Structure 1
């Protein structure tokens, strides 16, 4: 699926402090401004002038984001974001090769630039949702959730620009067709199968870990589970569960990206956030057991 690669942006480690969180957010915003700015100065032609204006707007937005992050950091920590607080290189939300590939294409249009910018915001939403899911401190979790919401709101605004560009390029029917191909019925089936796999996976886990897994995936922690399972069966169930959780996260992200109205957009975004958080918990539990 189109958004499968978005799920590879899981952070390398949990964020432990607000200083580290602000450093990550600031570094990503500055990097975004630099990447967009490089293409805001492309040689202007009648064809590329609208594209250059879009990159200029994206650069301004990224610089404004960096400024707001700095203000928030000063207000809370009485200092500017400090990249020396980084314990690992922040996930690159706007890979240079993506922009270069688009710039080298003879098909570069306003629609494609807006579409790529939407993808970048979606990638930010996934990244900060992961940060929130892994955070041990409530302040870090709350701040990461706020940043995920901001990325989501930014994606929504850019979708409107993308839609206008699509219409101006006289390709209305393509997006309408995409909206009609819903995977929600498949998601309902996968949710049912996922719950069965989680229950089977939980059977062989120690009580504390089992309760953690069930709680993290929305199951009743006090519900009785069947007797012990064979190790091979448990491993298969774990792998199936994680694979289904990945599929569901991708489906909900795709559905949100092609939502036909505001109600559908809000619903699928909530489903995507829940699914990504669930996937993060499942991956963490699986990795812990493998150690």
Structure 2
């Protein structure tokens, strides 16, 4: 999953002229701006740090689109139009990545900047392909300029990503709380998650209850400690669901990272098994949570 190439497909045909090149560029840029703008208004209060990043990214892409239009007018005397396109330009900001970030309970500013870096890395690779396939010198020169611009922009975004990572690391070190400590112990997280799944099941309709209980075994071990604590109002149950989803996502991330760091085959296989089980469990929990809404 993590070894997939940045650019899934190459341009399907050479770009024939400058008008087509600018039409491709402005289509991709406007699409990126729309994607970023959608996330700039998404989420709740907890999503605020991520939303702020996407506000900046949306503005950057809008400014880029304006610059592309002006460059096209200077080059051929008019703005690019969809009629210049012979094939639909590939999306450099895949919807799957955006959806993962929007729906994740672990989304951070670092993750948002990292997504933007991947976007510009894809743009660099895309324009190098266009330059390599170009049949005229003018198209090749313009595509090389687009590639250089993507490379420069990527470097600026990496700096923002690095600053976000340092800020989040400082917060993690300073935040010596049970929530921070949970991340260092998969065993503790598993225990907390199973307890919350059990408590969630006690308030769920029968079909969902059976599904939830199947995620923690046959129930023969009896009620879990703290599982029967009272739930005085709906907000308490909502918090249990949210916490269970967060813990399930954290565990998936821990096991995937462990697989990446594995130094021997047995450790790799164990981490992969745990990751596969955890990812399937997370998918089930998300499905049950959406059915309850």
- What's the TM-score bracket when you normalise by the shorter of the two chains? 0.5 to 0.7
| Unpaired stretches in structure 2, ≥5 consecutive residues | 172-293
Aligned to 2:18: 18
Deviation at 1:4, TM superposition (A): 4.0
Give the Å deviation of 1:7.
3.9
Question: Contact conserved, 1:9 with 1:126, CA < 8 A, in 2?
Answer: no
The answer to whether the aligner puts 1:123 opposite 2:150 as a matched pair is no
Unpaired runs of at least 5, structure 1: 173-291
Residues in 2 aligned to 1:138 and 1:92: alpha-carbon distance in whole angstroms: 26
Residue 44 of structure 1: CA displacement?
4.4
How far apart, in 2, do the equivalents of 1:132 and 1:90 lie?
A: 15
Q: Is the 8 A contact 1:9 1:123 kept in 2?
A: no
Task: Report what 2:261 is aligned to.
Answer: none
CA distance in 1, matches of 2:162, 2:62: 24
- The change in CA–CA distance for 1:133 and 1:37 in structure 2 (over 3 A counts) is same
2:108 is matched with 109
Q: What is the root-mean-square deviation of aligned Cα atoms in Å? A: 1.8
Q: Contact 2:43–2:102 at 8 Å: present in 1 too?
A: no
Moved over 3 A (4+): 1-4
Please give the alpha-carbon distance, in whole angstroms, between the structure 2 residues aligned to 1:2 and 1:123: 15
Counterpart contact for 2:42–2:102, Cα < 8 Å: no
- Partner residue in 2 for 1:77: 76
Question: Structure 2 matches for 1:209-248, cutoff 5 A?
Answer: none
- 1:8-47 paired onto structure 2 within 5 Å: 8-45=8-45, 47=46
**Total equivalences in the alignment:** 172
Q: TM-score, normalised by structure 1?
A: 0.57
Q: Deviations over 1:124-167 (max 9, x none)?
A: 00000000000010000000000001111111001001001101
**Deviation at 1:105?**
0.7
Higher relative contact order (CA 8 A, sep 6+): 1
Larger Rg: 2
- 2:97 is aligned to 98
TM-score (norm 2): 0.56
CA-to-partner distance for each residue in 1:249-275, whole Å, 9 max, x for gaps?
A: xxxxxxxxxxxxxxxxxxxxxxxxxxx
